[in-house]
Amino acid sequence: MRIVGDVLVTGEGSVTLRSHAPRSPVTRTETAARLPDSPFAPASVRSLFPALSGAAEVYLDSAATTQKPLPVIETIQRYHSYGTANVGRGTYPWATGLTARIARIRERTAAFIGAEHPDEVVFTGGATAALNAVALSWGLTALDDGDQILYNATDHASNVYPWQHLRGLLARFGRRIELIPYQVTGAGEADTDDILAKVTDRTRLIATGHLHHVFGAVSTLEELRGRIDPAVLLCFDCSQSGGHLPVDVTTLGADFAVFAAHKMFGAPGTGILYCHRRVHDRLAPFLPGGNSAISPDPDGLRPGPMPALLEGGTPNIPGILALGSALEVLESFGLDAVAAHNRALTLRLIDGLRSVPGLDFLPGPAHAACEVGYGIVSFTLDGISAADAGFVLSELGFLVRTGAHCVPAATGGAGSVRVSTHIYNTPGEIDRFVACVRSIAEEVT
């Protein structure tokens, strides 16, 4: 993929982009002089992350999953080693103690994401499960024939396929909904002007990625406030922003928001689904079963209160406990400090790569009108495929993601190289990475 004018060219076509004003060229010396100092020394925190302790490789794939700190690892081990029990069922101390801990973690999670009430937090099997829960628990019951959902076709497949699946399910019952894609800007953000042009009186939901998993741009949809019907629901995929920068779902005006624990120092298989209280009465059970807040009714199942309504079955107890420990670690660093560190590394990376021959940035901070960065940068190199570039980089000790990055609109394309950072990365690692990319570029051009 590459940008040609205002178009992102992929293997199967193109996605129209609207560019911000072009960013003025900045020299490396000028930018470096403005970069803030790191709020902490990443090397000093590496002792918290066993996989990085003494590792020769440089891990630059935190958008795929983050490394796990010792408190998270130890929490999982303790659950399986001492007092293993289920939650919400037994009346003996092991079970009741775990039930109380899960309740406290729910409260802590609500505070962490800016939710006003703990019952707005649902624990799921991951961000993908959370987005499917929105589609199935809300969409199947709330949408009528002719209703519309606006979405970003370049978002992660988990924020595209559930809506397509929902459309197919509803069609089987004679309800035909429309999925309307909107454009993104040259800076990789949701194009709110295009969204406004496409909103109609049948629009029921707008879905967007808060921090784009490839472009590394933040979309808050703030420009839509007061300009669209407040009945239109907003669904944010916060899989990349959660744990990387401060996220406040109330400030975002979110009705739904999803988070992936494994991308915020937690364990795989655990997700967070935020559901604003105003939508609770429109939700149907997602996984009816043991411990669900539902009861038999002559006409079917009678839904009960949230969040148990969407949490049927045994939850991922060690995963939720690990999430609690992950939040403690993140809070100990401070999300503002984490965001500042990632911004400094992002600007350093972009500035270093600008002069690499044959390198093209995908939409994102490199094309923004001001200096922003959230830890994700993607690019292509002339003369070498993304997959081959990634292989060479790995041989040189740099672990990055390559390919289409689960973007449905890019399926079949050559893909790109994605670099993603976190607190355990250093400016020195970025400089060495840039030097390696430059060497590869000079070899293939």
In this structure, are residues 180 and 198 in contact, taking their beta carbons and an 8 Å threshold?
A: yes
Confidence of residue 127 (pLDDT cuts 50, 70, 90): very high
Q: In this prediction, what percent of the chain has a pLDDT beyond 70?
A: 87
Neighbouring C-beta atoms of residue 221, cutoff 10 Å: 19
Task: Tell me the per-residue pLDDT of 354-374, one tens digit each, with 9 for 90 and over.
Answer: 999 999 999 999 999 999 999
Is 406 labeled as catalytic in the residue annotation?
Answer: yes
Mean pLDDT of 267-272: 98
Residues 6+ apart with CB under 8 A from 179: 148, 149, 151, 163, 164, 167
Neighbouring-strand partners of residue 378: 418
* Residue in this structure with the two tokens 């803030």, named with its chain if needed: 36
Residue 41 has a pLDDT of 58
Residues 6+ apart with CB under 8 A from 357: 382, 441, 442, 445
Nearest one of 373, 379, 429 to 36, comparing CA atoms: 373
**Amino acid letter for position 174:** G
Task: Tell me the per-residue pLDDT of 33-51, one tens digit each, with 9 for 90 and over.
Answer: 333 344 555 567 888 999 9
DSSP string, 299-318: TEEEE--TTGGG--S---HH
Neighbouring-strand partners of residue 296: 301
**Amino acid letter for position 388:** D
Tokens of 280: 């609770």
Catalytic residue among 235, 275, 406, 436: 406
Residue 40 has a pLDDT of 58
pLDDT at position 427 over 90: yes
Tell me if residue 136 falls in helix, strand or coil.
Answer: helix
| CA–CA gap between residue 210 and residue 240 (Å, rounded) | 8
| Pick from 133-137, 291-295, 319-323: least confident | 291-295
pLDDT at position 21 over 60: no
Rounded-to-10 torsion of CA 278, 116, 287, 99:
-150
Residue 293 has a pLDDT of 67
Residue 19 has a pLDDT of 36
Confidence of residue 106 (pLDDT cuts 50, 70, 90): very high
Backbone angles phi, psi at 361, to 5 degrees: -80, 140
Check whether the bond before 268 is cis (ω within 30° of 0): no
Residue 212 has a pLDDT of 97
Task: Tell me the per-residue pLDDT of 201-250, one tens digit each, with 9 for 90 and over.
Answer: 999 999 999 999 999 999 999 999 999 999 999 999 999 999 999 999 99
**Amino acid letter for position 236:** F
